[in-house]
């Protein structure tokens, strides 16, 4: 059973997805979460801080998984990258509603203070991704690479491929009525593409290693 704080966060995600940040009032949130308005203020202080807490709420689990992958001493760097991709794609597709909320809010270029706080939360996850790439470079498994741009490529491609059902269906020739981002075949297609992209980008070619 969810505690009151998590109950509010779950309600906030649903309402932000339906109405957007601007269209959702604190009273709406309180009603949906079945709490009084004062409790939202008690836990979060403001609607902006509630949104930041929602981002942290969703990002924390991914960060913990990335930290576990980084601590896996028996795995080589490319295996860690592939494990990261498997988990990241599964996580994003299972939380497509939250991903759309985040993408929509950040694309509006408003509320700079809140956006900076959100960026700091997301960058903590990117830092864990960077560690894997840097380990591979240090061990000379990966060639020298712009780790930040590679992370942007991985995250950006995944977000774009899981954000707009209509666009994706037109791109791959699928029926929107039958398509789901959680479809195993689609997820495997995305994972395999990202893994191939990472291998091609990171690993030395035979000519380079000769």
Task: Give start and end residues of each alpha helix (H) in the chain.
Answer: 4-23, 26-33, 37-44, 47-71, 77-94, 96-107, 112-138, 147-161, 165-172, 184-202, 206-209
Helix 112-138, helix 147-161: angle, nearest 10: 120
Residues 32 and 55 in one domain: no
Residues 25 and 113 in one domain: no
Query: Could you give the number of structural domains in the chain?
Result: 2
Residues 31 and 73 in one domain: no
Over residues 183-190, the mean pLDDT reads 95
According to the model, what pLDDT value does residue 30 have?
Answer: 94
Residues 99 and 166 in one domain: yes
Checking if the pLDDT of 78 tops 70, the result is yes
Residues 15 and 115 in one domain: no
The share of the chain scoring above pLDDT 70, in percent, equals 96
Residues 31 and 134 in one domain: no
Residues 191 and 97 in one domain: yes
According to the model, what pLDDT value does residue 197 have?
Answer: 96
Checking if the pLDDT of 1 tops 70, the result is no
According to the model, what pLDDT value does residue 81 have?
Answer: 96
Over residues 102-116, the mean pLDDT reads 77
Residues 3 and 91 in one domain: no
Q: What is the CATH number of the domain that holds 73?
A: 1.10.357.10
According to the model, what pLDDT value does residue 207 have?
Answer: 57
Question: Which value, to the nearest 10 degrees, does the dihedral of the CA atoms of residues 47, 112, 85, 178 take?
Answer: 60
Q: Structural domain of residue 83, as residue ranges?
A: 48-209
**Distance between CA atoms of residues 133 and 44, nearest Å:** 36
According to the model, what pLDDT value does residue 117 have?
Answer: 86
Residues 90 and 134 in one domain: yes
- Return the residue matching tokens 């020298």: 144
Checking if the pLDDT of 110 tops 60, the result is yes
Q: How is residue 183 written in tokens? A: 């479809």
Residues 91 and 137 in one domain: yes
Checking if the pLDDT of 2 tops 60, the result is yes
Residues 115 and 126 in one domain: yes
Q: What is the CATH number of the domain that holds 38?
A: 1.10.10.60
According to the model, what pLDDT value does residue 113 have?
Answer: 82
According to the model, what pLDDT value does residue 36 have?
Answer: 93
Q: Is 173 exposed, middle or buried (0-12, 13-18, 19+ CB in 10 A)?
A: exposed
Q: How is residue 138 written in tokens? A: 């240090």
Q: Which of 51-55, 117-121, 124-128 has the lowest mean pLDDT?
A: 117-121
pTM: 0.84
Mean predicted lDDT score pLDDT of the chain:
90
Residues 165 and 146 in one domain: yes
pLDDT tens profile 150-179 = 999 999 899 889 888 899 999 999 999 999
Name the residue among 202, 180, 195 with its Cα closest to residue 84: 195
**Distance between CA atoms of residues 120 and 58, nearest Å:** 14
In this structure, what are the phi and psi dihedrals at residue 142, rounded to the nearest 5 degrees? -105, 150
Q: Is 103 exposed, middle or buried (0-12, 13-18, 19+ CB in 10 A)?
A: middle
Domain endpoint, select from 45, 61, 77? 45
**Distance between CA atoms of residues 70 and 89, nearest Å:** 18
According to the model, what pLDDT value does residue 130 have?
Answer: 95
């Amino acid at each position: 059973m969810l505690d009151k704080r998590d109950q509010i966060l779950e309600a906030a995600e649903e309402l932000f997805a339906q109405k957007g940040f601007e269209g959702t009032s604190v009273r709406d949130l309180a009603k949906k979460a079945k709490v009084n308005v004062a409790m939202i203020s008690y836990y979060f202080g403001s609607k902006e801080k509630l949104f930041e807490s929602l981002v942290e709420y969703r990002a924390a689990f991914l960060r913990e998984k990335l930290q576990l992958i980084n601590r896996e001493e028996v795995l080589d760097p490319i295996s860690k990258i592939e494990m990261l991709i498997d988990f990241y794609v599964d996580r994003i597709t299972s939380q497509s509603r939250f991903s759309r909320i985040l993408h929509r809010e950040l694309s509006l270029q408003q509320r700079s203070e809140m956006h900076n706080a959100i960026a700091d939360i997301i960058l903590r996850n990117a830092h864990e991704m960077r560690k894997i790439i840097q380990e591979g470079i240090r061990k000379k498994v990966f060639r020298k690479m712009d780790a930040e741009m590679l992370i942007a490529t991985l995250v950006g491609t995944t977000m774009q491929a899981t954000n707009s059902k209509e666009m994706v269906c037109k791109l791959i020739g699928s029926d929107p009525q039958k398509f789901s981002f959680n479809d195993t075949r689609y997820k495997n297609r995305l994972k395999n593409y990202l893994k191939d992209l990472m291998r091609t980008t990171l690993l030395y070619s035979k000519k380079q290693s000769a």
